[in-house]
Amino acid sequence: MSDPKHPEEGQLPASPGRKLTLLPLVMVMFFTVSGGAYGLEDLVGQSGPGMALLLIIVTPIIWSLPTALMVAELSTAMPVAGGYYAWVKKALGPFWGFQEGWWSWITSFVDMAIYPVLFADYLNTLLVQQFDNHLLEENWLAHWLVTLVVIWTFVFVNIRGAKGVGKWSNYFGAFVLIPFGVMGVIGLSSAITSPSEFWAPFVPEDSTILGSFGTGLCVVMWNYLGWDGLSTVSDEIHEPRRNFPRGLALTIPLVTLAYLLPVGAGLQASPDWAGWTAGYFPTVAAKVGGQWLGTWLAIGGLVSAAALFNALMLSISRLPYVMAEDRFLPSFITKRHPKYDTPYVAIILCATVYSFFTLSAFSSLVVVDVIVYSASLMLEFAALIALRYKEPTMKRPVRVPGGWFGIAVVTALPAAVLALAVYSTATDDGGATAMLMSAAAIATGPILYPFLVKFVKKDHPTGAVPIEYDELGAG
């Protein structure tokens, strides 16, 4: 048994009392991926009611489920700190492992900065509507200070460990999910007593089915990203080989229902679908259940933004930590808190970067984020294939079913979705710019790698990823 004060390389120490158990794991996973139906309004307004509902239902089948199956196999075979970084490093070597970690980390610079800004924007809306106070929209410094309060509050929560993040996620989850659930129940009752074709029109009159599908695909992909996120803290999950796949199995339908029910209820109560734009859900909720429900959803948007940041900080902050362990980044980043055994320097480093990026959080870069994230996701599928070939007897408590045919299917579906999203982006207005920015972001990894190997890593060896073998595991 390893000494908890001197863990094996790639293992962050965490006593059982500080680890994520199943319910907190599900809530953290929910906020790592979703956070509620906020942000889906544009999907309805741009793609039409019918296509929006279809995409919400189909995307988890062709995108989330294959990803979750891949993550379940690799996370239970290698439940180590760094998760997907370690999988790719083990399967494809240090170069591709670095690309996996680097691409995932740099997308967070923009992604993570968006949530504190959203918090400040939601707070501004509430202040204007309830108190006619325009401070946050008129004073950029006050707006920025609010984002800093969000960031550094949850730095403190994250430094105290995964269990604290899970505890806060439980509270946030209840506050966000209950009003959406109430909205869904009211909408379902209305659909039964006063049925209407709330899914019509299927697509806007000026669009085609393929065009409407492509327009909404990146939006829905964005709202279903992140199933691999918590693999980076696998060693901070209680019984990860058992609880991680159970968490995935519970969270996928939870996220799908958290999207489908309120969107369906909103269309039943507010048939003016063309008016659905970002931030419209509180208005829709007020039409469904009254002003009290609309106010609850408005406050829920604020809570959701904070919860997303809190949960994502837990997973993302482990990337610079494990890359620093391999000396692709400076070794001081590997320092752990003397009391909580958390990578506090990595957490603070991430928070500092995000604090500056909130000054210019480019929500328009969502498409770039999706493409760069998808490049790293394809490396994970490549790792799945490579390890099936190179390590056939590796112990796999959970396996993608169907042998090599199953592997082909779960890899081909997300690859096809990604190809369609890239094609849609490339042919859209401004798509060429988004593609160039995506290519530039991806290129930073190969460009930096030789420099970091020569001047930072030097002769320091790359840490091994431990695996267990099962003589009956061939396949």
pTM, full prediction: 0.91
- Listed range (216-220, 295-299, 471-475) with the worst mean pLDDT: 471-475
Percentage of residues in the chain with pLDDT exceeding 70? 94
Q: Which has the higher per-residue pLDDT, 353 or 192?
A: 353
Q: What is the largest CA-CA distance in the chain?
A: 72
Q: Average of pLDDT values for 299-320?
A: 96
Q: Please, how many CA atoms are within 13 Å of residue 237, restricted to the half-sphere of its CB?
A: 33
> Is the pLDDT at 165 greater than 90, yes or no?
yes
Give the mean pLDDT of the chain: 90
For residue 324, CA distances in Å to 97, 410, 453 come to: 13, 32, 12
- Listed range (144-158, 209-223, 306-320) with the worst mean pLDDT: 209-223
All structural domains of the chain, each given as residue ranges with its CATH number in brackets, are 16-457 (1.20.1740.10)
pLDDT at residue number 310? 97
User: What tens digit of pLDDT does each residue of 249-269 get?
Assistant: 999 999 999 999 999 999 988
Cα pseudo-dihedral 372, 374, 378, 383, rounded to 10: 80
Find residue 469's DSSP bridge partners.
394
Nearest to 428 by CA among 374, 364, 376: 364
Find residue 233's DSSP bridge partners.
81
Nearest to 179 by CA among 276, 304, 95: 304
Residues 284, 270 contacting (CB under 8 angstroms): yes
Q: Average of pLDDT values for 80-100?
A: 97
Residues 81, 10 contacting (CB under 8 angstroms): yes
Q: Please, how many CA atoms are within 13 Å of residue 340, restricted to the half-sphere of its CB?
A: 18
Residues 19, 163 contacting (CB under 8 angstroms): yes
Q: How far apart are the C-alpha atoms of 127 and 399, rounded to whole Å?
A: 51
Strand stretches in 352-391, DSSP E: none
Q: How far apart are the C-alpha atoms of 124 and 266, rounded to whole Å?
A: 24
